[in-house]
Amino acid sequence: MAHITTDLLVIGAGSGGLSVAAGAVQMGADVTLLEGHKMGGDCLNYGCVPSKALLAAGHAAHAMGAGAAMGITPVAPDIDYAAAKDHVLRVIEQIAPVDSQERFEGLGVRVIREYGHFTGPRTVRAGDTEITARRIVIATGSSPLVPPIPGLDQVPYLTNETLFDLRDKPDHLLIIGGGPIGMEMAQAHRRLGCQVTVIEGMTALGKDDPELAAIALENLRAEGIEIVEGAAAQQISGWDGEVSVETPKGTFTGSHLLVAVGRKPNIDTLDLEKAGIETTRAGIKVDRSLRTSNRKVFAIGDVAGGLQFTHVAGYHAGLIIKQALFGLPAKVSTAHIPWATYTDPEIAQVGLTEAQARDRYGDKMEVARFDYSHNDRAIALRQDKGLIKVMVVKGRPVGVSIVGYQAGELIATWSLAIANKIKMSGISAMIAPYPTIAELNKRVAGAYFSPRLFDNLKVKRVVRLLQKLLP
């Protein structure tokens, strides 16, 4: 058996693990990276990248029938589902070299294509190699959660790990789960010519602001997607090409079934107990510095049991670099971490929702609102259904919720504001080119100040007085 001693051992070559490895090796550390499956992890191969590529194909198909308001005669697109999947694969292939073994070995990272498991507090075995490391980072990510629904194990079903290999277009796609993954794939497949039914046990898009979620769901239903809420799956039966899902609201039958009810941390094969690492139901137990109960081991990204987003894993990676390489203190904050659901319209959130802000701050919190229908660029694009809400306490934004065109782009400004404690006056002072969607951020800040300026009798008296006194 080969033995390796290294400064930093990274377990998992997803977005978080790759960011740690690249940053650490370029700063002079000896880095070993383990990956037993695909480089790039879930995001590149099964998640963010392929899902957005398929959504883009659906958008292209939808655009062919959506131009009547602009004088463009709608036409029915000729959809080649397999070719759309080829587009997805080409997108993955174009991005893959950035995450490849060759690139990381070129940077100086020792890459071992094996799964790893702990044999002691600072030792990990990967195939026929045992590795001793000064610091270890667990970045093994998460996998689709397959719920114990009676009959599910007896029928063919898809998850996000198998959906993108499907070449034959589903006639009728059933989706269990009305969260971001379920709703994004529902719209993509509907626009690519499939009948789609979403079966949600509670409320669709239930983690988002209800007012904003309702706007998105209205559009999804208008496109022909059947969304059944409060319908927990009780029994599943059928065979290849005909699957039925029994719920309290009836039985739904389709040609294909996609299970999209959540994620589970990839920890089962790590033998964490041999390293003295504690876990919870959500994943590996970490403190605010992302340290596990073993002080030499960190956990980042999905496996750490917090927000499950690629950009969160990247954020975690930066904190690890500070601590493991420079010994500097670093603690996680979630206040400035945004997320987005890429349906049409998009939904984006950073910080507290309106309900959360009211619970925390009560009457000290104000809500500034601005509607897309008052944005000239949105009107010109016929994308004027949407809303931005900013939750403000003592002049500072503590949360922002957006539904509408390019919401995922707009939210970045508010992450910047919250991260750097920028007041609403700072947002109001920015200048956005006219006409742009970005003006919405400035205009909602203006909406916050408007009643203070235009409905304030003291301001009006001062202005009238100054008009008499000024030359």
Binding residues for NAD(+): 177-184, 200, 262
Query: Before 435, cis peptide (omega within 30)?
Result: yes
Q: What is the distance of C-alpha 137 from the center of its chain?
A: 22
12 token code pair:
């998992």
Can you say whether the dihedral through the CA atoms of 166, 171, 173, 174 is positive or negative?
negative
Give buried/exposed letters for 53-86 (b at 16+ CB in 10 A, else e): bbbbbbeebbeeebeeeeeeeeeeeebebeebbe
> Tokens 């379920």 sit at which residue?
182
The one-letter amino acid code at 150 reads P
Known binding-site residues for FAD equal 52, 116, 140-142, 302
DSSP line for 75-119: ------HHHHHHHHHHHHHHHGGGG-HHHHHHHT-EEE-S-EEEE
Q: Bridge partners of 238?
A: 243
- Decide if 397 contacts 429 (C-beta within 8 A): no
221 token code pair:
């239903």
Known binding-site residues equal 52, 116, 140-142, 177-184, 200, 262, 302
Using alpha carbons, list the distances in angstroms from residue 334 to 51, 266, 325, 339. 25, 22, 23, 11
Q: In angstroms, rounded to a whole number, what is the distance separating the alpha carbons of residues 318 and 321?
A: 5
For residue 159, which of 171, 176, 140 has the smallest C-alpha distance?
176
Residues 6+ apart with CB under 8 A from 467: none
